[in-house]
Structures are given as structure tokens and as C-alpha cells.
Amino acid sequence: MDRYHIWFDLRPGVKDLEAARSIQDMMGRMQKDGLVEGFELERRKLGFGPKELGEWHVCVRVKDMAQLEAAFDELTPRTGELERLHAAVWSKVTNFRSALYRDFPDPNRIRPPEKAHHGDEVA
């Protein structure tokens, strides 16, 4: 599973519940269409966290890079219903930051054999 993390702040004057609804509408549509596996929308609590990352966080879960690329491909034409939902989000955010993480270790990673500890029996 790969996770696309997005951090941001709201533009001045944007109401928090309106922004949350716009994000939930867009990401819910992407999940319904199979473009993402799921997402979480989070808001920093009690001011804890680095200011550079912004007050808001969205974690988008995708199966793999192919699914993420397909999701981006659906957004880049800048037309249709998904673009309308995307524009409703983008118009409300500022200070966008993102990062891509994966589960670790990778499922296909070759791992060295376990070493026996002193006193352990080796079969």
C-alpha cells in the first residue's frame, strides 16, 4: 500500500466545514470510482506539529503507483465532474505540501535468514 500525504492550510476566509465537505466530496468520488482505496482527512489538534506542514492533512491510500498515476491521469484533463470537485478543493487551500510513503519492508523484499540467538535451538 502506498500513501500520498498532503498537508495544507485554508485560505483566509474559508470556513473549515465547507473545506472539509469539499475534500470529502472529491475524495469520496475518487474512492467510489476506484481511483483510490481510501483516505483520511485530519486537522492538527491543539496546535501540535510543525507549522511548515500546515494545519490540515489528507492521507490518500492507493494499492500501488499505477493506481496513483491513474488517479492523477483522471485529474489532469481539467474537465468534467471530477475537475469541478477538484477546483472546489483547490480554491480553498494554500501552502500545499505532499509526500509519498509506502509500507515497509516491501512485500517482495528478500530478507536475510534469521540468526539464532545464544541458547536458541536451530532446526
pLDDT digits (tens, 9 = 90+) for 48-60: 999 899 999 999 9
Mean pLDDT, range 18-41, rounded to an integer:
98
Note the pTM of the prediction, 2 decimals. 0.84
Provide the CATH number for the domain formed by 2-45+53-102 in this structure. 3.30.70.100
Rg (CA), the chain: 19
What is the per-residue pLDDT for 100? 97
Residue spans of the domains in the chain: they are 2-45+53-102
Q: Which of 30, 32, 45, 41 is nearest to 7 (CA)?
A: 41
pLDDT digits (tens, 9 = 90+) for 67-105: 999 999 998 888 899 999 999 999 999 999 999 999 998
Q: Is the peptide bond before 105 cis (omega within 30 degrees of 0)?
A: yes
% pLDDT > 70, the chain: 93
